[in-house]
Amino acid sequence: MKFFNKIIKSLLLVSVLALLAPSLYADSKGVIVVSKDVNVKNLSKKELERIFLGKTTIWDNGKRIQIGLSTADGEKTDHFFKEMIGKNQRRFKKYWLKLVFAGYGIAPKLFSDNSKVISYTKRQEGVISFITAEELENIEGLKIVSIDGKKSF
């Protein structure tokens, strides 16, 4: 009987935690996620900036870094670019156009919505992406990366 009660209590606790998990990110604009093959749990803001600006191009495991981004959700995406990369979306795109035409990089993959970014990040190896908070329930199979110890921003 005691064993049965422990199981019930454990299941109840797990259920409550599962229901509360989305609210942990409720105030956030989004999170950084990576493909399951990327062995990264935390990045500094500077490391993240270097990755998204094409200055760091290889993961520690030797795989090429690929970037997936959504052009949807203007306000939240703008917040990501300004706070984490130091450029607005327009300046970010111009920056990458110059790099690509000069032969110095492979541009990030841009998608019309977050679901396509998530799908791309799941399918490809070495991908890092920004996902808005609304899409967190769809990221099974991806890893959330902390930025300076914070899971969301």
For 102-150, how does the pLDDT look when each residue is reduced to its tens digit (9 = 90+)? 998 889 999 988 889 999 999 999 999 998 878 888 788 899 999 999 8
Residue-level pLDDT at 90: 86
**CA angle (33 as vertex; 56, 31 as ends), nearest 5:** 110
pTM, whole model, 2 decimals? 0.78
| CA-closest candidate to residue 32, choices 144, 110, 125 | 144
Distance CA 58, CA 98 (A): 20
Q: Averaged over 49-61, what is the pLDDT?
A: 95
Residue-level pLDDT at 66: 97
Residue-level pLDDT at 1: 60
Question: Residue 8's pLDDT band (boundaries 50, 70, 90)?
Answer: low
Residue-level pLDDT at 26: 43
* Contact (Cβ atoms closer than 8 angstroms) between residue 108 and residue 3: no
Residue-level pLDDT at 7: 57
Percent of the chain at pLDDT above 70? Answer: 80
**H or E element at residue 10:** helix 2-24
pLDDT of 47 strictly over 90: yes
How do 66-70 and 109-111 pair as beta strands?
Answer: parallel
* Contact (Cβ atoms closer than 8 angstroms) between residue 35 and residue 131: no
The class that CATH gives domain 29-147 is alpha beta
Strand arrangement of the beta sheet that strand 42-43 belongs to: 42-43, 143-147, 30-34, 127-132, 66-70, 109-111
